[in-house]
Amino acid sequence: MALKELSSLEKALGLKKPNKYSTQGDKKVPVLQRSNGPALSGLVTIATYLVREANRAELLGESAEHRAIVQQWLEYRVTKVDGCQKEDIKTILKDLNTYLEDKVYLAGNQFTLADTLMYYGIHHIIVDLAVQEKEKYVNVTRWFDHVQHYPGIRNHLPPVVVLKNRVYTGSHH
């Protein structure tokens, strides 16, 4: 999974030459073997490196504050979202929904690497949501829909239908 994600990220960043990755251990941690330096391992590490390779450092946050927020969400992605159990999903969606209430992107008004990786990481959850649940976590789905339509991001993932109108507004059921 992580490998597909990294090659999607490469495309999104506009990197011409695709890298070759391998995996390590039971958890299949991605590893990038470079010709001119030490090997890099871990999704966030490699992703951050790719962003710099592509000269898109703004995707890591422009101010010190934004950089910290981006780091925080990257960490959230690999610690909370990856390998989450069924019962955790509700908590993640609830937290995220509250957080995104007044934001366009995870780090405020700018699109960052955190949005890309969170989108890739949460996709399998959103795909399985019923229409009613998508409406319940309306801020998450709004953000998700926004990111999946962001140029060059979606790549290998199927699009998720998000209704623009609310259908569960009434008190009934």
Check binding of 149 to other proteins (CB under 8 A): no
- By CB under 8 A, name the one of 35, 85, 109, 165 that touches other proteins: 165
Tell me which H or E stretch contains 147: helix 138-148
Q: Give Dmax over CA atoms of the chain in angstroms.
A: 63
- By CB under 8 A, name the one of 24, 63, 72, 132 that touches other proteins: 132
Nearer to other proteins, 17 or 172 (CB): 172
Please tell me the number of Cα atoms within 13 Å of 55 on its side-chain side. 1
* Structural tokens at position 90: 């509700």
- In 10 A of CB 40, how many CB atoms? 18
- By CB under 8 A, name the one of 63, 131, 152, 156 that touches other proteins: 131
Check binding of 130 to other proteins (CB under 8 A): yes
Answer positive or negative: Cα dihedral of 15, 19, 24, 27: positive
Where does this chain touch other proteins (CB under 8 A) — which range of 5-13, 85-93, 106-114, 157-165? 157-165
Check binding of 64 to other proteins (CB under 8 A): no
Size of the site for other proteins (CB under 8 A): 15
d(CA 104, CA 107): 8
Task: For 51-90, give one letter per residue: b (16+ CB within 10 A) or e.
Answer: beebebeebbbeeeebeebbbebbebbbebbeebeeeebe
Check binding of 160 to other proteins (CB under 8 A): yes
Nearer to other proteins, 16 or 166 (CB): 166
Where does this chain touch other proteins (CB under 8 A) — which range of 32-40, 65-73, 112-120, 156-164? 156-164
In the complex, the residues that contact other proteins under the rule CB under 8 A are: 130-132, 160-163, 165-168, 170-173
